[in-house]
C-alpha cells in the first residue's frame, strides 16, 4: 500500500444562494478590504468558499458534533431547520416558456 491514500473527490459542487441586501453589501465591503489588504482583487464568488470553510473550521460546536459523530450527511428527505424566518427578497417575473397558443405538455 502507498503512503499516500486515494485522493478524495475534488469535483466542485455549484451552490446557489440568495443574499439579503445587507449581506451582499457586507460581502462587497469584505472584498474591498481584501483588495486593500493584499493588493489583489478577488471576486466575491471566489472568496465565499474560503469564508465558509474558515467559518466551519472555527465553529467549536460543529467540530465537537463531528468528533462525536453527531454531524451526519443530510439525506435527500431531510430538510435543515431554519433558525430565522426568511426575509422577503425581490424577485423578477420571468415570461412563461409556453406561448399563449401552445398547450403545456404533461
Which of 44, 45, 66 has its CA nearest to residue 56?
Answer: 66
Query: Quick one: DSSP state of residue 36?
Result: H
**pLDDT tens string 7-46:** 889 899 999 999 999 999 999 999 999 999 999 999 999 9
What secondary structure does DSSP assign to 74-102, as a single string? PPTT--PPPSSPPPP---PPPPPSS-TTS
Q: Mean pLDDT across the stretch 76-100? A: 47
Please say if the pLDDT value at position 3 is more than 80. yes
What does pTM read for this prediction?
A: 0.59
What is the grid cell recorded at 57?
473550521
CB atoms within 10 A of CB 9: 7
Q: With bands split at pLDDT 50, 70 and 90, how would you rate the model's confidence at 93?
A: very low
Amino acid at each position: 500500500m502507498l503512503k499516500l491514500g486515494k485522493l478524495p473527490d475534488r469535483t466542485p459542487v455549484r451552490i446557489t444562494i440568495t443574499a439579503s441586501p445587507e449581506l451582499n453589501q457586507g460581502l462587497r465591503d469584505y472584498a474591498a478590504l481584501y483588495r486593500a489588504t493584499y493588493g489583489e482583487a478577488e471576486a466575491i464568488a471566489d472568496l465565499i468558499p474560503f469564508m465558509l470553510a474558515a467559518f466551519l473550521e472555527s465553529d467549536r460546536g460543529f467540530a465537537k458534533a463531528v468528533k462525536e459523530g453527531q454531524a451526519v450527511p443530510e439525506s435527500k428527505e431531510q430538510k435543515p431547520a431554519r433558525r430565522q424566518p426568511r426575509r422577503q427578497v425581490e424577485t423578477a417575473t420571468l415570461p412563461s416558456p409556453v406561448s399563449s397558443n401552445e398547450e403545456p405538455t404533461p
